[in-house]
């Protein structure tokens, strides 16, 4: 069990706890968090680079300058891993080459649904109080 701030990370049970309450994370975000928390010193920078390589911003570059199908596949993976910032998909002009594709419309629908669920959970858990 690793403790940092108000959090506890249990790699054996793949659980993240805050003040003893379980926080739901998809498997890949949990692995990334565990990787970062467990790294120290010289190991931290390569771990951060690995995380950065998987960030959604990379997919927009592939969409704009590269292969739209590859970008869609990568974006689908990011959404499957928990990315739910629907406004980013909706407004980013670099994703325009993907908009005519039915797969992108389906991806936007999945992301919008998750985004709405995230907003509801934020409000239900009184997230605004944490931010103020």
Residues 50 and 2 in one domain: yes
Instruction: Report d(CA 132, CA 124) in Å as an integer.
Output: 16
Residues 40 and 84 in one domain: no
pLDDT of 8 over the 80 cut: yes
Residues 12 and 70 in one domain: no
Residues 43 and 69 in one domain: no
Residues 44 and 89 in one domain: no
Residues 73 and 124 in one domain: yes
pLDDT tens readout for residues 38-92: 776 667 667 666 666 666 566 676 777 778 888 888 888 888 888 888 998 899 8
Average pLDDT over residues 91-96: 89
Handedness of CA 111, 117, 122, 125 (dihedral sign): negative
Residues 11 and 45 in one domain: yes
pLDDT computed for residue 41 by the predictor: 61
Tokens read off for 87: 């406004």
The dihedrals phi and psi of 126, each to the nearest 5 degrees, come to 60, 45
Residues 41 and 72 in one domain: no
Are 57 and 41 a contacting pair, CB within 8 Å? no
pLDDT of 108 over the 90 cut: yes
Residues 10 and 50 in one domain: yes
Question: Does the pTM of the predicted model rise above 0.95?
Answer: no
| Beta-ladder partners of 4 | 7
Supply the range of the domain harboring residue 85.
Answer: 56-132
Total structural domains in the chain? 2
29 vs 121, residue with greater confidence: 121
Mean pLDDT of the chain: 81
pLDDT computed for residue 57 by the predictor: 64
Residues 86 and 117 in one domain: yes
Residues of the chain with pLDDT > 70: what percent?
Answer: 84
Residues 37 and 10 in one domain: yes
């Amino acid at each position: 069990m690793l403790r940092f701030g108000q959090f506890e990370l249990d790699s054996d049970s793949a659980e993240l706890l805050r003040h003893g309450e379980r926080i739901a994370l998809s498997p890949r975000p949990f692995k990334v968090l565990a990787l970062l928390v467990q790294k120290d010193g010289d190991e931290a920078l390569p771990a951060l680079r690995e995380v950065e390589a998987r960030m959604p911003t990379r997919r927009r570059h592939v969409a704009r300058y590269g292969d739209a199908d590859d970008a869609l596949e990568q974006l689908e993976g990011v959404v499957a891993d928990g990315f739910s910032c629907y406004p980013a998909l909706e407004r980013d002009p670099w994703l325009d080459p993907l908009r005519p594709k039915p797969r992108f419309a389906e991806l936007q629908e999945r992301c919008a649904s998750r985004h709405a669920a995230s907003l509801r959970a934020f409000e239900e858990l009184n997230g605004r109080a944490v931010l103020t």
